Structure 1
Amino acid sequence: MGSRYDDFQDYGENDFGRDGYDDAYDADFRGGYDHYDDEYGNGVYEDDRYAYADDGYAYEETPYEEEVSQPAARRTGKGKKNRRTGSSARKASAGTRKKTGTGKRSASAGRKQGKKGRKRKKKSASPVFAILLMILVLGMAFGAKLFLDRYSYSTEQADLSEQFNVQGADDVPIVWGNELSEIHAKRIDGIDYMKLDDVKSQLNSRFYYGKQNAQDETGMILYCFPTDKLKTVVGSTEVSTEQGGSQTLDYAPAVNVDGTIYLALNFVKQYTNFGMTAYENPSRLQIDTAWGEETVATISRKTQIRTSGGIKSPVMEQLEKGAKVTVLEQMDTWSKVKSEDSVIGYVENRRLSDIQTQTMTAVADYTEPEVTHLTFDGKINMAFHNVWGSQGNVTLTSYMAQTKTVNIVAPTWYWVSDNDGNVEKAATQEYVNQAHSMGCQVWAVVDNINSSSLQQLDNHTFLTTLDARTNLISQLTDEAKTYGFDGINVDFELIPEENGEDYIEFIRELSIACRNAGIILSVDTYPNFSFNSHYHLDEQGVFADYIVIMGYDEHYAGSQEAGSVASISYVTQGIQMALNDGIAKDRLINAIPFYSRVWETDGGQVSSKALGMQDIQDYIQAHGMSVNWSADAGQNYAETTEDGRKIQIWVEDAQSIQQKLDVMQSFGIKGVAEWRLQ
């Protein structure tokens, strides 16, 4: 019929005017179904003014109570219908009627009879008319109901607490970016807190929880800067730094709720750039940590955000004309949007205007302090010197005589020996003086795997307590001051995943001490495969001056299959992953092995032993092994069989070393390290 219903909504308002039903002209049913006004003055009908004629004539609008005149006799001339009125009509009737039968009837009697007959007809027609009218009204009402049921807009209000998944009186849902997050905050004494684990994974991984010592039952939060460290005890309002004193806040930055550590988001925001806005009814937070382009629109006229795309969906929020929304997803007739107070739902596309793309403004409230690094001029050629105790220091001269370009020597001088952070020591002044005289820096190595009292060491205990870490750091920096060596190299291996956070906190704290003392810090680390991710290579790169990738042990003593110690693909992948993790190439060193493994496979059992480069050549010659170049491994490969045992060697020699050096040069990294001088 040419009708359109695109403006028809809000049945609950009982208003179907121009804001609702739009046809060829606007119909107004404000008076109900018995009143119609087309707003142009055409035809006003009210059912108490309907005229009715039972004999087919078009009567004037006449009240029911008035007596109705007899219908006049019809004339046959020219086919016109006339009616007579007054006494002339009555005379004509009296003059032409004849008597019939025995009865007499006067003109007045006929008129009376006619009146009665017509009255009887009216009385018999009225119930029919009422029934028809009732049917008509009911039909119209039923049709209107069907129409409204199909095309009217639901006014049902959605439960926003349910929509936001509010889980309790102190629960604060979070809209993270443009999505309702599974992470929730907790409101405690009017302050919004978030679980420490969520803060670390989503906002700032540098916050660390630990204990002062084994007797500490409360714990503390630590946060490291390039040259200082912040500390606050859980539940306390006091915050202190080693160099800046202390201050008291009007809330506790960290609290313990049923064994779970929470951080106040206001406190986190002091050291982290993210956007945060709080809304009420229900309580919720909008948090933004990424900034880019977004699509926005303006609401063209008053409408609603609904739980899904459809007019029957419950209403989440009313939107006024001119309101701004973020358009998250556009469909055929509806769009998913986020309102200015972070309600996410659906709006009809026809209510969106001025759709455009804009660039979000990044939050930059916090200026991250620059981490400066101590550097070594030129390319690095670093050789590890495994002294096996102070008596091994005397081998420096003989070992260095076989080298040409080594400019850093790293003696294994310190071994963590107990849970209090004490170390065994092997440093001597003579060694440092001798190395310096050769033009080499000395980077002393500290490890956690070679102590003579290793059975007393628990990685978990000495790494998780601030007292033990501080003790270890103090001993190392004091040794550097005493002997004048140039750097400290950390070689902590076999750290369990549960202590990954403790390990990286130790690196941060050690870096502060080294930076303040002018000591170069380097860290030996595994290639960043997923099973090594708890070593936090990216964070090591922030605080350490140099990262040394241990580009060996691809196959090691405990491997269940024979293979290369350091194939060319393994070396390449290790360097590439470090660069991908943000390690600057001018602070990246790759360590290569000066050894190979002799693998024996006997009845499915695999075993191996490590031999130095010269010893490997002697072994190959002694066993008459055939040697061939393996392009896949980037190494020579030797194999033989003895007494049913299969013997295999992936050989490290001058040719394989050159292959690795070529890869390092192609990446442009800082240098190479060798395990070990021999």
Structure 2
Amino acid sequence: MPYHWHRHGGMRMKKKVAPALAVILLIVVVVGIGFLTRLIQKYTPSSEVMDSQEYFGLDSDDEAAIVVGSEIISYKGKLIGDVAYVDYQAVKETLNDYFYWDSDNNTMLYTMPTDVVQIPAGASSYTTDGKTQDLTYNIVLIDGSKTYIALDFVKQYTAISYEVFQEPNRIVINNEWGDVTVASIRKKGKVRTLGGIKSPILREVEKNEVVRILEPMEDWTKILTQDGYIGYIKNDRLVKEHTETLTTDFTAPEYTSIVKDYKINLVWHQTTSMDANYNIIYDIASVKKVNTISPTWFSIASNDGTLDSLALADYVDTAHDNDMEVWPLVDNFSENIDFAQVMNTTSARNKIENQLIAAAIEYSFDGINVDFENISEDAADGYVQFVRELSVMCRKNGIALSVDVPVPMDFTAHYNRKALGEVCDYVIIMGYDEHYAGSEEAGSVASLSFEEEGIQNTLTDVPAAKIISGIPFYTRLWCTTTNADGTTTVTSDALGMNDAQQVLENNQAESTWDETTQQNYAQFEGEDGALYQIWLEDTKSLTKKLELIKNYNLAGVAEWKLGLEDDSVWDLIAKYISS
């Protein structure tokens, strides 16, 4: 009995183990299948093809995508018959910003060195330098709120080449010339949206197709196909990588400039009345080696472009008799004008230009100085167009054109110094007002670092031979008052060089050299208990500023303003200008 009992018990144990092993085996199989499935999924390339309309951002069949260089831009174009049209803003921002759309008159303007080409919307001809050119297509189209320019017309004035492709519609523009890296396709492959086999397919490339290399990576390379697709392909599909030089036979127009064979030494002469003009002989009595004077004669008086003028022939004659060229200043300081409206209205711009040139001819001006300040972004395009148009007239009449610009800051980038430097003879940096009347804290009007950084940043857009460094003959006396609630109030008064020194004498205050600003600094407590601070402009601080002109080989110096200087500065400036 015991034997049989043991045998039957063992049989029962075997019967229990078998199902358990089966379950375990099943689990192993399932896990294995799952792992194998995931492994297969991981290494199996996606066959998803991205919709081309979606890839190029096209919402309708009448749109055409625009590829510029190695970027698909957000603006769109149109294909009408065999003519490609591109959104005006796309042309302006990416191809050629000399185009300007006059929305009031539905006319496209293009500024050449000696002419402004005008093309009304819908026109198939245009006139330049007195010659009419007839084309087989409309140059400018308006579709709702959008304005388009025929790309063939843009190409006449711009270093570009382009091709048109369909299904979907796209215009592929090249504006990048010089060396590029290209490669051939070794065997048929897929271009994907991102560098990975799971990324959607953009299109297939064929053997021997040539693509441009944009960004090589470890396993994938970002490429540009000739028909405008920008995507990624596996490195093993690329062969024969080499450098190719892209050339153009386009010849850019030459915007010639007046270049003096001497350093400019310009002083601004603030004249607020006709009677003040007659004081010139006294105002310049102590001046030495100033070769250019800029009287503040013109101001925009109304939105139609009418100018107030203080021009006087006797003043010009006196200046010329003292070996000074006369570059009268025009400003936008009147509170009675909407400056953006003036600049964005072609008739108003032209009226200002015509008045200035007429006065220059009548009074024998040698130049014109444009001092438009606090320009808002909505006035910027019109302002640059104004300067370009005025440059055409100045160029034709041998009149030097200069513009005054603030020290470059992020919030003044819209001044477009590069564009100004291309068409103007001189760009004057107003290297002052680092701290100004409305500043919330006391500080230097023009520290050396402020001045030097302004020069360095302007040099990125304007050649040194066209840059004049504007320096101040004034400073500010700052008054900081502590209020009953513990807050402070900061005010200031502008002082000329001699008046500033007189303030120190009157208050028995001594100045010490400030290494940070490279200026003499003084402070004292007033009888009212307020803290007074001043950063002086004197021969020592001006020497530092004048050395920058020599160090950076600039075109010269400009001083604001005549009458605020100590007589000793003229010998100092003459030393640096002469050298």
Instruction: Determine if the TM-score, normalized by the shorter chain, exceeds 0.5.
Output: yes
Choose the corresponding residue for 2:543, options 658, 665, 671. 658
1:520-531 matches, within 5 Å, as: 520-531=400-411
Aligned to 2:116: 229
Say whether 1:428 aligns with 2:335.
no
- Residue 484 to residue 282, structure 1, CA distance change in 2 (3 Å): same
Give the superposition deviation at 1:383. 1.0
Aligned to 2:519: 635
- Residue 478 to residue 177, structure 1, CA distance change in 2 (3 Å): closer
Aligned to 1:374: 258
CA distance in 1, matches of 2:373, 2:157: 31
Task: State the AA in 2 paired with 1:192.
Answer: A
Say whether 1:615 aligns with 2:507.
no
5+ residue gaps, structure 2: 1-32, 483-487, 564-579
Conserved 8 A contact 2:182-2:213: yes
Choose the corresponding residue for 1:586, options 453, 465, 468. 465
Task: State the AA in 1 paired with 2:542.
Answer: I
- Residue 220 to residue 645, structure 1, CA distance change in 2 (3 Å): same
CA distance in 2, matches of 1:154, 1:377: 68
Conserved 8 A contact 1:550-1:590: yes
CA distance in 2, matches of 1:313, 1:617: 73
Task: State the AA in 1 paired with 2:556.
Answer: G
Choose the corresponding residue for 2:451, options 571, 580, 586. 571
Conserved 8 A contact 1:592-1:672: yes
Secondary structure of the residue that 2:433 maps to in structure 1? Answer: coil
Choose the corresponding residue for 1:246, options 132, 142, 147. 132
Task: State the AA in 2 paired with 1:391.
Answer: D
Task: State the AA in 2 paired with 1:645.
Answer: A
CA distance in 2, matches of 1:417, 1:280: 53
- Residue 274 to residue 436, structure 1, CA distance change in 2 (3 Å): same
Task: State the AA in 2 paired with 1:369.
Answer: P
- Residue 629 to residue 183, structure 1, CA distance change in 2 (3 Å): same
Secondary structure of the residue that 2:414 maps to in structure 1? Answer: helix
Secondary structure of the residue that 1:247 maps to in structure 2? Answer: strand
Task: State the AA in 1 paired with 2:379.
Answer: N
Identity value in percent: 39
Secondary structure of the residue that 1:614 maps to in structure 2? Answer: helix
Aligned to 1:606: 490
Secondary structure of the residue that 1:456 maps to in structure 2? Answer: coil
Give the superposition deviation at 1:347. 4.1
Secondary structure of the residue that 2:297 maps to in structure 1? Answer: strand
CA RMSD across the alignment? 2.6
TM-score by length of 1: 0.72
CA distance in 1, matches of 2:346, 2:364: 26
- Residue 330 to residue 391, structure 1, CA distance change in 2 (3 Å): closer
Aligned to 1:673: 558
Conserved 8 A contact 1:296-1:324: yes
- Residue 432 to residue 353, structure 1, CA distance change in 2 (3 Å): closer
- Residue 327 to residue 526, structure 1, CA distance change in 2 (3 Å): closer
Task: State the AA in 2 paired with 1:594.
Answer: F
CA distance in 1, matches of 2:42, 2:432: 71
Task: State the AA in 1 paired with 2:388.
Answer: R
Secondary structure of the residue that 2:279 maps to in structure 1? Answer: helix
Aligned to 1:185: 77
TM-score by length of 2: 0.84
Q: How many corresponding residue pairs?
A: 522
- Residue 184 to residue 260, structure 1, CA distance change in 2 (3 Å): closer
1:15-34 matches, within 5 Å, as: none
Cα deviation 1:468-519 (Å, max 9, x = unaligned): 2112111111111111121111111122211001111111111111110111
CA distance in 2, matches of 1:556, 1:488: 26
Say whether 1:486 aligns with 2:366.
yes
5+ residue gaps, structure 1: 1-141
- Residue 433 to residue 165, structure 1, CA distance change in 2 (3 Å): closer
- Residue 492 to residue 297, structure 1, CA distance change in 2 (3 Å): closer
Cα deviation 1:325-351 (Å, max 9, x = unaligned): 334445555544443433344444444
CA distance in 2, matches of 1:181, 1:292: 22
CA distance in 1, matches of 2:199, 2:536: 71
1:49-88 matches, within 5 Å, as: none
Secondary structure of the residue that 1:493 maps to in structure 2? Answer: coil
- Residue 277 to residue 610, structure 1, CA distance change in 2 (3 Å): same
- Residue 433 to residue 277, structure 1, CA distance change in 2 (3 Å): same
Choose the corresponding residue for 1:277, options 146, 151, 163. 163
Conserved 8 A contact 2:341-2:379: no
Aligned to 2:57: 165
CA distance in 1, matches of 2:503, 2:377: 39
Aligned to 1:127: none
Conserved 8 A contact 2:77-2:148: no
Aligned to 1:466: 346
Task: State the AA in 1 paired with 2:558.
Answer: A
The structure with higher relative contact order (CA 8 Å, sep 6+) is 2
Give the superposition deviation at 1:292. 4.5
CA distance in 1, matches of 2:321, 2:199: 83
CA distance in 2, matches of 1:656, 1:151: 70
Aligned to 1:176: 68
Task: State the AA in 2 paired with 1:672.
Answer: V
Secondary structure of the residue that 2:389 maps to in structure 1? Answer: helix
Conserved 8 A contact 1:293-1:357: no
CA distance in 2, matches of 1:375, 1:328: 41
CA distance in 1, matches of 2:398, 2:215: 54
Cα deviation 1:228-251 (Å, max 9, x = unaligned): 11111233334233x324334333
Give the superposition deviation at 1:223. 0.9
Task: State the AA in 1 paired with 2:470.
Answer: A
Aligned to 2:430: 550
- Residue 615 to residue 338, structure 1, CA distance change in 2 (3 Å): closer
Conserved 8 A contact 2:84-2:171: no
Give the superposition deviation at 1:181. 3.5
CA distance in 2, matches of 1:156, 1:414: 67
